Structure 1
Amino acid sequence: MPSVQSLTRALDLLDHLADAGGRATLSELAAASGLPAASVHRLLATLVAQGHVRREAGRRYALGPRLVRLGDVAGHVLGEGVGPALRELVTATGESANLAGLDGDTAVYLAQAPSPHPMRMFTEVGRRVPLHATGVGKALLAAMTPEEVDVLVARTGMPARTPATLTDPAALHDELAAARARGWVLDEGEQEVGVRCVAAPVPRAPTPCAVSVSGPAARFSPAEAERAGPTVVAAAARLGEELAGLPDDDADASGGAR
C-alpha cells in the first residue's frame, strides 16, 4: 500500500523528537530527518496545531500533551491484544511473561502477564532497560546484523549492571550467534542478581519486539530455562502473527481481497 509522504514525514518527526529525549530544535530535527528546514517547519506547525507537538522557548519543540492520551489508549489496546498469548506462556512455564519493544538504543516493556507464584518477577510497563544486559534486549540484538550491533554498542557502551553482565563485545557476539542458532537467549542475572530470563525476538512484528519469561533463579533453574526456550520461541511466533495481522475490514477499505 503506498504511503502518504507528508504523513510519513510528520510521524518520522515525532520519532526523531522521541529519540532526542522529547525535545529538539528545528535545526536538529532537520538534520535528523534529512529534510529542508522549511519543510520541517511546516510539518511542525501542523503538529503543534493538533496538539501532538508544543513549541517552547528558545525555538525548541517538544512532544505534546495529545500524545499522552494516545499512548495510554495504545498501551491498553496492545495489552488486550497480546494478553492471551502472554497468559498462555505463563501457564506453560509458570513464570512471568513480558513483551518489550526497541526504543532507540534501549528496550521498553510494553506488556506483562504475571506469574501466579507469590514470589515472582514484576516489570513495570514503560520501563526502559539496556540491550546488552537483559534477555529481551539481547533478543532484540540477535535480530540485528553483527554490523548493526557493533554500531549500537559503540554508541551505548556495555556498562556492567551486575557481576554477570557481559561487558566485552566479542563475548556478546558469541552469545548472539548461539542465540540465532537456537532461537532464544538467556539472561543469567545480568540486569538483576538472582533473576533468570529466557527471551526470543518476535518475527514479523511491525517494529522490533521480543517476548520473555523471567523468574527467580532459585525456582527457574537452568534446566527449566532450557525447557522453556522452545516454548518462548513458539509464543514469539504467535505474537508476531497477531502484531503483523491486518483486520479483514481494513483490507476491504483499502481495496484488498474481499
Structure 2
Amino acid sequence: MLCRGLVGFFGFKHDRKLALRALALSAAKDDVHSVFAGLVLMTYHGVVLLLSGYQANEEKLLKEYKDIVDRIEARYPAGALWILNRAKIMRMSYDAENAIRVLQDGLKPGRPHSFAQADMLLIFELAWTLLGQRRYQEAADTFMKITEINSWSHGTYYFIAAGCYIALGQQDKAQGMLDAIPDLIDKKKLSGKDLPTEVFIKKKLAFYKEKHTRRGGDGVKWVEVVKINPAEEIAICKTLHNFSDTTFL
C-alpha cells in the first residue's frame, strides 16, 4: 500500500498484474534483461509466500517460482543466486533437509565462486535453515563462519551461537560466547549507535545477570538462569522483522 501511494503521489500509474505479466514475458527470453526480470519475479514470489502464511495459491506460486529458477539456472548453473532460490523453494515446500543439501553443495570448494557476497547469502540461509531444523552444532558453526566473512554485528551471531550451545547442554561454551558479546558490540557500531538487535541483546544480557544475582549467584556463570533459548528468540525477532518489512511491498 505504501509503495502504491508513493507511485501515485509522483503522478505515475500502477498496475501490478500488468507489471507481473511484463516481467514474466521478459524472463522467458534469453537476453540479459531476462535475468533481472527473473530476479524481480523470484523476489516477488518469495515475499508473497513469506508474507501470507496460508496461501491458497501456494502450489501455483511455487511452481511459477520454480519454473523461473529452472530457466535461469539452466543458463547459469553455477550461479549462487539460483542455488539460493532453489533452496528457498525447497524450504517453502517443507523440504528443509534437501534445502540444506542444496546450500551445502553450493558452498563446496570445487564449485566456482564468483563473489563473496553471493556465498554469504548461501551461508546465511544455511545457518537459519539448520537452526530451524534444530541441528544446533552445525547451526552454531555456520553462524560463527559468518563472522569470518561479514562485518555486520558479530555480537548478534555470537548470541545465536550461544543459544545453540545452550540447547546442546554446553553451558561453559555458551557462557564464554555470551561474555564476549559486550566487547564485540562496542567495537562495531553503525553511526556510533547500537543496532536494534544489539540493543535487544544488551538488555537480555543485563536481565540474565540481574536474575542470576537475585537468585544468589556469583555473577559469573549466569548462563544457568537462561530459560528461553537466545537463538530461538532472535529467530522470532527475525521472522517478525521480515513480516513488518514485507507488509509494505
Greater Rg by CA: 2
> Structure 2-normalised TM-score?
0.27
> Structure 1-normalised TM-score?
0.27
Higher strand share: 1
